[in-house]
Structure 1
């Protein structure tokens, strides 16, 4: 397993950042390589990704969700193996640190080489930067929210 830890500060309240992150179906708008996500239940999502010309489908289960604090997940079926947590840290009334920690198991030679060259880390960094742009360009208005706990 490869481990990645990245963070970014966004100029929105912690509630707004968290609310937007719970809108999994919008991830393709700021996550490179994510083609589609379907929210199948409160705790189950189905992902379709395409990275480096390789398409993968998998299901991820939300294992922990605490409003304005954290969302944790793990894959439960499909072609990708990963687990992670995103945490939200209030830095001020309108400023939040979003921290993403992930473990990914590369499959095959190409993914293993890409991982060794830092591809996953660069992808996560880019995704967080695009999340920042996405939520800030909306004037700090999230596209929705799910405030339940898991």
Structure 2
């Protein structure tokens, strides 16, 4: 299983960052390759992705949710195998460190080749940079005085 760990600091309070990580439907706005996320219930979501031309649909289950601190998930079923966590650390009242850890089991020749080329690492890094812009823009809009 491949593992990626990436960290980024965002200029938004931890509560705003957590609220956005807990709203899966917004993920297509900053996660490249995520076409749709539909919340099924409190703990489950259905995902449609298309990465490097490979379309996938799968479901995830939230296995841990600590408001303001952590969200952890895993896929269910057999088609896609990955787990992830997002850990949040308040740096001060207005800034948060976001640490994303993902583990992924590549299947098939294309995914194994992409894994060896470090494409998942670059994808997660890019997604976090896009998240930073997304959450900072959203945070500024929510706090016109700040």
Q: TM-score, normalized by length of structure 1?
A: 0.92
After superposition, the C-alpha distances for 1:73-132 in whole angstroms (9 at most, x for unaligned) are 000125211001100001011000000011000111111011111000000000000000
> C-alpha distance in 1, partners of 2:110/2:20?
33
Q: Write out aligned runs for 1:35-114 (5 A).
A: 35-77=35-77, 79-114=79-114
Q: Deviations over 1:2-60 (max 9, x none)?
A: 00000100000011100111110000000000000000000000000001111000000
Output the CA distance in 1 between the equivalents of 2:110 and 2:73. 25
Question: Does structure 2 retain, via aligned residues, the 8 Å contact 1:135–1:141?
Answer: no
Q: Runs ≥4 in structure 1, deviation > 3 angstroms? A: none
**C-alpha separation in 2, matches of 1:21 and 1:110:** 29
Matched residues in 1 for 2:7 and 2:77: separation? 27
Q: Which residue of 1 aligns with 2:130?
A: 130
**Alignment RMSD (CA, Å):** 1.2
Q: How many residue pairs get matched?
A: 142
Distance 1:5 1:140 in 2: 29
Shift of 1:137: 1.4
Alpha-carbon offset, residue 140 of structure 1: 6.0
TM-score computed with the length of structure 2 as normaliser: 0.94
Q: Could you tell me how far apart the structure 2 residues matched to 1:141 and 1:132 are?
A: 15
The structure carrying a bigger helix percent of its residues is 2
| In the alignment, structure 1 residue 33 sits paired with structure 2 residue 33 | yes
Question: Are the counterparts in 2 of residues 88 and 98 from structure 1 also a CA contact under 8 Å?
Answer: yes
State the alpha-carbon separation in 2 of the partners of residues 107 and 12 from structure 1. 37
Q: Which runs of 5+ in 1 are unaligned?
A: 143-150
